């Protein structure tokens, strides 16, 4: 088996990981809406408040963002100032994507992974929980999503770089 099919297979596998993670994270959006609705109904109709329920909104929002970032990159749904990019050829866009992945995405996410490691390890060693009475005791789990997100973005960045290389080498059809 040649190098090109292996590179394409690896890129496709990494894309599938981002796809699965993104689809799983999408369910968090539904949970976020339902929990937010519940908080509003409980507070304004029944005058019942719950710190844990309010904190769960924060957890769901952070989880949705952190776990959905790689999928957003995969589907090219991130914010981009594409005044020039949209007018480039497929090869030109592949070159920009490759340089962006190698010079920006991978270094920043690697730094984020490295810098968050002690932060998360400390949270785990303390089994860090909410500072609020009645809050959720899982802050350490939430903080764990920081390096997980960075790792997922690194993997998707590698997939993007491999796909761009494949286009630039002519191994991948310009129309795909």
Q: Where are the chain's structural domains?
A: 3-168
CA dist 81 to 62, 63, 69, 85, 139, Å?
A: 25, 26, 18, 8, 35
pTM over 0.85: yes
The pLDDT averaged over each successive group of 10 residues in the chain (176 residues) is 75 94 96 97 93 96 96 88 85 94 97 97 97 94 98 97 92 52
Task: Give 50's DSSP letter.
Answer: -
């Amino acid at each position: 088996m040649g190098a090109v099919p292996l590179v394409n297979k690896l890129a496709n596998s990494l894309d599938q990981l981002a796809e699965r993670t993104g689809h799983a994270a999408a369910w968090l959006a539904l949970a976020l809406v339902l929990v937010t609705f519940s908080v509003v109904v409980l507070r304004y109709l029944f005058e019942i408040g719950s710190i844990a329920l309010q904190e769960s909104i924060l957890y769901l929002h952070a989880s949705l963002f952190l776990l959905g970032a790689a999928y957003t990159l995969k589907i090219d749904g991130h914010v981009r100032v594409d005044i020039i990019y949209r007018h480039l050829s497929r090869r030109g866009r592949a070159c920009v994507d490759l340089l962006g992945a190698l010079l920006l995405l991978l270094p920043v996410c690697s730094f984020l992974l490295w810098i968050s490691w002690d932060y998360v390890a400390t949270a785990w060693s303390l089994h860090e929980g909410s500072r609020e009475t009645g809050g959720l005791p899982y802050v350490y789990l939430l903080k764990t999503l920081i390096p997980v997100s960075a790792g997922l973005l690194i993997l998707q960045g590698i997939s993007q770089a491999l796909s761009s290389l494949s286009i630039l080498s002519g191994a991948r059809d310009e129309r795909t």
